Amino acid sequence: MSLPTTRLSLSLAKSCTPAVRSICRTTSKARALRPTVTAQQYRLFSQSPLASSKASSKEPSNEKQAPSIKEKLPDPQQSPFRFREFDLNEKVFIVTGGGRGLGLTLAEALVEAGGKVYCLDRLPEPEPEFHEVQQRLGPKYGGALNYDHVDVREAGNLDRVISEIASKHQRMDGLIAAAAIQNVTPALDFTPEKIMEMLDINYKGVFRSAVSCARQMIKYDCQGSILLVASMSGLIANNGFTSAVYNSSKAAVCQLARSLAMEWGKAVNGKPIRVNALCPGNIVTPMVLKNFEDQPELKEQWESQNMLGRLSEPKEYRGVALLCMSDASSFMTGTNLVIDGGYTAW
């Protein structure tokens, strides 16, 4: 028996109504539960990094002169605050022992993050590599790399230079104390003069540098950060490395970092000057290459005694320098950062 078309349509409509209403209710709930997306969030997620990269490669480069690190990072228009903790723009830093080697490499990292860096070294003129780095950096990162002839053993001159730098910029934000010497000599052969020379640079020079910078941080109300370059040799009896005076001078630096961190935890009107020690493993630097000349077997021995089976390069410590000098380490003080390829973990 066939129903008239009108009655059939009405019957179907009545039978479908509950299901349709159910679907509508479900859709309404889904809309109510959908999170609100702001305009800023939409901009963040509306374009993939790949698409952004392709688009930017087709457009002509209109890079601003001396941009801050925030402008150098990917997609600055979409997320201007990305990695803001690492921004050193307009901040001022001292790096002792910065004329070459590890000190220069760490200084370079700070400049790339926007910092104004002053390398102090007892060399009358920095090594050629300093000028190469200076030329490579130029003004494009917003920072600057400068050099001053300063011997950390000369307390008066050290104080004067650091004070003048702080006065020029009306601030002092950080210190990396990397000035040091090394002397591979059996303990029985160390002369009193050699002992005093090493301690005067490796310990007293580090202490003087830290105190001079801390005074300026307090004067200009800067929550500063100080990184004292020690060594894993200050933590262990470095197998085969016959330099008891060097090793003990670096142990003193580790303890100095802890002591100053305690003393200066609220030094700037209740705010901190943070102090940490960096304990590198074996690094290929001019100083270490001289050790290999004196003890040719030392290189193979050192390479075999860490978990990575090789020596480190200065550039592998750039990240820790930036971490310690930036706000990214704002709750880190009084610690030893051991970066040694696993040497001390056996």
Parallel, antiparallel, or unpaired: how do β-strands 92-96 and 144-149 relate? unpaired
The tokens for 175 are 């210190």
Known catalytic residues? Answer: 246, 250
Say how far apart CA 187 and CA 202 lie, in whole Å: 17
Q: Given its phi and psi angles, is residue 334 left (phi above 0), alpha (psi -120 to 50 degrees) or beta?
A: left
The residues facing 229 across adjacent strands are 278
